[in-house]
Amino acid sequence: MEEIRIGLIGLGARGRHWLKMLDNFNGYRVTAICDPLTELHEMSLEPLKEPESIAVYDNYEEFLADDNVDAVALTVRCKEQGALAAQALEAGKHVNSEVPAAHTMEDCWRIVLAAERSGKVYQLAEQSRFSGVVTAWRDLVKEGKLGKITFCEGQYIGHKDPARYHRLPGTAQLVPIADLAAHPEAEPTWINLMPPIHYLPHELSPILKIIDDRVTEVTAMSTRSPSYVHNEIQQPDIQLAIMKTANDTLMRLAVSYTQPTPPRDNHWCHIMGTKGSVELARSLKDSPKLWLADAQMHDHAEVDWKPQRTDAPAEARGSGHSDTDYYIHASFRDAILHNVPLEFDVYRAMDTAAPAVLASESIAQGSTLMHVPDFRPGPNRRKGEMPG
């Protein structure tokens, strides 16, 4: 195979961004698009080089039956996201899925089994793990500069546009909260219904890469539902998870979609070890910080770490999310065309998805401690089979 014939499902803003990238990305040819909302079809095709050569679907099964599609780019936002990924693998397609990977444990397992049985590539397209700062911190940890890692913090705390929580049924037309009285027929979107903590794969992906570990135990808490910020939003404002890893590191992770904040990066992270610590900037005026216990340092030092990589190729520049969007498409392509092992394989992806799903199950059960399975095959599970 010299190029990957890729079909994309989910033509929202993120899907349309992916489409434009894939249309110009060496090694890909866009052959199909799919979204049940037909009003999005024409505007999605319009910026592409050869729109007339691209098949258009509003039905997922018909899209998956297209022999001209080798791989599925999955940029939907819905509860069934994980099931759709598994269905594509079961249909013999490679899958590059947007974050988060899945919203149920059943779907996590279904993805793993479908990837193992089909031998197809599954990648969770979490891009921040490829950033310059994550690479630098991973190297510091690997070289032992921070000592034994004892504590990590991560958060995604931001305020999504209040227009994104309701839409007119069967359309892409969003209804701002201020206009809800005029549209009693408006229905909640998935952002309105999704437990915020389900978005943790975006934090766990870089953190678990930095410390080369996996989560084994999770407990979590939540503020009340509905939101204090917008009474019309059914989800709580903040959900917080406490986790423990296989290597005995404790983690504190939080997600909010509604919390007002000044302009800044919604992601924040802190890694602490017995010999030092690193953390990201807290505000636009702030800088990332490093402290090393055995380096005669009386305080944290500011370090000019950025998401942008100093070694990024020209094609990465301007690809989105501080150039890191490039790497999710390059690594998926290289895994399929050149058998380059994925850095973020299906097991590592589920290491980030399952703790998030179990955190919301913990909340539902009054903060019960949940145990996270290891999805890798081993003495208790043969490849392609559920654990005994």
Residue 169 touching ligand NAD (CB under 6 A): no
Contacts 24+ apart (CB under 8 A), 366-372: 367/219, 367/220, 367/221, 368/219, 369/217, 369/218, 369/219, 370/217, 370/218, 370/219, 371/216, 371/217, 372/214, 372/215, 372/216, 372/217, 372/218
The region of 4-12, 115-123, 217-225, 311-319 touching ligand NAD under the rule CB under 6 A is 4-12
The region of 13-21, 129-137, 207-215, 298-306 touching ligand NAD under the rule CB under 6 A is 13-21
In the complex with ligand NAD, the residue whose CB is nearer, 24 or 38, is 38
The region of 70-78, 214-222, 289-297, 376-384 touching ligand NAD under the rule CB under 6 A is 70-78
* Site residue total, ligand NAD (CB under 6 A): 22
Residues 242 and 197: their CA atoms lie apart, in Å, by 11
Return the residue of 21, 33, 71, 99 that touches ligand NAD, per CB under 6 A: 99
> Which residues, other chains included, contact 378 with Cβ-Cβ below 8 Å and sequence gap of 6+?
none
Residue 213 touching ligand NAD (CB under 6 A): no
Residue 13 touching ligand NAD (CB under 6 A): yes
Residues 275 and 88: their CA atoms lie apart, in Å, by 46
Helix/strand number for the chain, H first, E second: 10, 17
**DSSP code of 361?**
H
In the complex with ligand NAD, the residue whose CB is nearer, 255 or 272, is 255
The contact mask relative to ligand NAD for 262-301 (x = CB under 6 A, - = no) is ----------------------------------------
Residues 379 and 309: their CA atoms lie apart, in Å, by 40
Residue 11 touching ligand NAD (CB under 6 A): yes
Residue 3 touching ligand NAD (CB under 6 A): no
Residues 269 and 207: their CA atoms lie apart, in Å, by 8
Q: Which stretches of the chain bind ligand NAD, using CB under 6 A?
A: 9-15, 35-37, 40, 60, 75-78, 80, 98-99, 127, 172, 321
